[in-house]
Amino acid sequence: MAEKRRNRTGPLQPHQPSPVRRGQAQDAQPGGPPGDGPGVGEGMRWRGHVKITARFTDGRPPEVTEFDNLIVDAGLNAARDALVADASGPAQIRVCALGDDNTAPAAGNTALGNEEFRKAITKTAAGATGVMVTTCYIAPYESVAQIEEIGWFAGDAADPDTADSGTLISRVLYSRNKTNLESLQIERTDTFT
């Protein structure tokens, strides 16, 4: 059951938490003996955090919703492959997509449940060490519909004009009946530690 979560400036809204999927330490790789990574205690963790700001054209104060999210297996593999000499393509997040399927995110997801809209990423910026911020702006006239899910797609194949193209990095549930009186700023912060 979805818990109710209060926005900083808005009423209680349903929210389905999505767990953050973290990579395993390099010294405890599945299928390999302990210690076959670069060093004891070394390893990388990937945390995804989402902040969505709804701004209204009628002057109401913005509504802000924040939560952590699931990094799907394909996303973990894209990050891994970016470190391999013969990688098939960059792991840069290129597209944000919205859909209307509220099925819980799963590690094996490779696409949204039912993609309805997608758009090229508006801005990317490096933050502090190990931090990348990716922003997508959805204008009031775009995606006027019931939103239930958001996904981020990476790689050379991620095309803003072709549904389900690219490698799904992450998928979250976010329920909102978006109208033409509001814009959404979807900001995703990826932190590697």
Give the pLDDT confidence of 144-193 residue by residue, as tens digits. 999 999 999 998 899 999 999 999 999 999 999 999 999 999 999 999 88
What type of residue is 46? W
- Quick check: 121 pLDDT over 90? yes
Residue 135 near residue 119, CB atoms below 8 Å? no
pTM: 0.77
Residue 75 has pLDDT above 50, yes or no: yes
Distances (CA, A) of 171 to 26, 63, 110, 167, 180: 25, 21, 9, 11, 24
Alpha-carbon gap, residue 178 to 143, rounded angstroms: 7
Strands (DSSP E) contained in 57-92 are 63-68, 70-71
Question: What value does the mean pLDDT of the chain take?
Answer: 81
Is the pLDDT at 94 greater than 90, yes or no? yes
Does residue 92 register a pLDDT over 60?
yes
Confidence band for 79, pLDDT divided at 50, 70 and 90 = confident
**pLDDT band for position 78 (50/70/90)?**
confident
Give 131 or 27, the one with higher predicted confidence.
131
Q: Token digits for 77? A: 């593999």
User: Which of 139, 143, 147, 135 shows the shortest CA–CA distance to 172?
Assistant: 147
Q: What would the two tokens of residue 40 be?
A: 């004891």
Question: Among 9, 11, 13, 8, which residue's Cα sits nearest to residue 176?
Answer: 13
Q: Residue 72 is which amino acid? A: V
The most distant pair of C-alpha atoms in the chain lies apart, rounded to whole Å, by: 60
168 strand-pairing partners: 153
φ/ψ region of 143 (left if φ > 0, alpha if ψ in -120 to 50, else beta) reads left
Structure tokens at 59: 């002057």
pLDDT confidence bin for 91, thresholds 50/70/90? confident
CA distances 64 to 12, 33, 116, 183, Å, are 12, 45, 23, 12
pLDDT value at residue 127: 86
Instruction: Say which residue, 83 or 85, is predicted with more confidence.
Output: 83
